[in-house]
Structure formats: structure tokens, C-alpha cells
Amino acid sequence: MAPGLLDLVHLTTWAVCAVIKLPQLVAVLRAGSAWGLSATSLLLELAGLLVFLKYQIYYDYPLETYLEYPIIIAQDAILLYCIMYFSGKTKRALFYTVVFGGVWYVLTLQKWIIDVAMNLCTFISAASKLVQLRHLWQTKDSGQASALTWGMGAYTCATRIITTVMTTNDLAVLIRFITMLILNIWVTATILHYRKTKKTV
């Protein structure tokens, strides 16, 4: 891939990630409800994102390969707070902040910790998608879940597969993005299915 084209892929990925959670946030705030969303799924997603970001920083990977992650993490944190607020569980926010801060520090105390965490990161992130899928299957209602947000998640995974191959070629990172791509598409399709089912009832 030509350097100019690679830069364009990076730019489009950053642009999408800058607004990736906004459709979901708008849907939740407009409805005044987090129905259809799983707080557990979002907590697992945040854990996976934090581990992945720390791994990239630890191994001094090019900034353009992970620049969007702080933006996504910030948006996820805001969305998680909204879910807790509408669920009446805002007191848990401080506890989760302390836990995630502690994990962030511990990850790089030893090289083996960050390596093991990265391998577990794929399972944690995959679990977050599977928890959301299970929630949708149980309720049979997509509620405020945003197909646009999940679709953009699939897009960013697809572009990151390309950029990873062209830059670091890290197998653990590639496996993570391929797995997340498949699961993001699956969640998007499930949301659209239940939305269509609800409209036809």
C-alpha cells in the first residue's frame, strides 16, 4: 500500500473513532434510558481497550497505530457513566475508576504481565461483545443500542487490520482486530434484526 493511501486509511479511522460512540450517547440521552445496553459489556470493552493501549505504548509502536484509543476510551467512560446514571448506580463509578487506574499501573511492572494481558485482551474484548449479544438475545429488543456505533466499530477494525499488516505486523494485534471485526458485524446485524422485528410487530 502506498504511503499516501496508508495515511488516508489512518485519517479515516481517526475521523470515525472521534465520533464512534456519539450515536450511542445521543440515543441514550434522548431516550433518558440505557435499555438494550449492557454495563458489563462496556466494562469488559474498556478493560480490553486499556490493555491494548498500554501494550502499544509499552512496545513503542507508531503513534498513528493507536492514536484513536484514548478518544474511544474517553467516550466509553462517558457512556458507561450515562448507563450507570440511568440505572441508578453512579456510586460505582469511583470504584471502577480506581480499579482501572490500578490495572493501568500494574500492567507494565513486568514484561510478562503486559504480554499475558495482551493475549487475554482479545478474550476480554470478545467477551464484551458476547455479553452484549446475550443481552440482546435475552431481551429480544435492541432498545437504545446503536447499530451505527457498532457498524463504525466494525469499520475501524477492518481498517486497523490493514494498517497493522502494513506497519507492525503483530500477530496478537491482528488476531484481536479480526475477532473484533467478526463480533462487531454480528452485534450490528443482531441490533438491526431486533429493530426490524419490533417495527413489524
- Look at residue 173 and tell me if it is in a domain: yes
Query: Given this model, what pLDDT does residue 200 score?
Result: 62
Query: Given this model, what pLDDT does residue 129 score?
Result: 94
Structural domain total, the chain? 1
- Look at residue 38 and tell me if it is in a domain: yes
**Segment 97-111, tens digit of pLDDT:** 999 999 999 998 899
- Look at residue 33 and tell me if it is in a domain: yes
Structure-model confidence comparison of residues 183 and 8, the more confident one: 183
Please state the rounded mean pLDDT for residues 68-83.
Answer: 91
DSSP assignment of the chain equals --HHHHHHHHHHHHHHHHSTTHHHHHHHHHHT--TT--HHHHHHHHHHHHHHHHHHHHTT--GGGTTTHHHHHHHHHHHHHHHHHHHT-TTHHHHHHHHHHHHHHHTTSSHHHHHHHHHHHHHHHHHHHHHHHHHHHHHT--TT--HHHHHHHHHHHHHHHHHHHHTT--HHHHHHHHHHHHHHHHHHHHHHHHHHHHHH-
- Look at residue 201 and tell me if it is in a domain: no
- Look at residue 100 and tell me if it is in a domain: yes
Given a cut of 60, whether residue 201 has pLDDT beyond it is no
Query: Given this model, what pLDDT does residue 159 score?
Result: 92
- Residue that is written with C-alpha cell 481498517 in the block: 159
- Look at residue 69 and tell me if it is in a domain: yes
**Segment 6-46, tens digit of pLDDT:** 778 878 888 888 899 999 999 999 989 888 888 889 999 99
Which pLDDT band, with edges at 50, 70 and 90, does 3 fall under?
low
**Segment 108-156, tens digit of pLDDT:** 889 999 999 988 888 989 999 999 999 999 989 888 899 999 999 999 9
| Domain enclosing residue 88, as ranges | 3-196
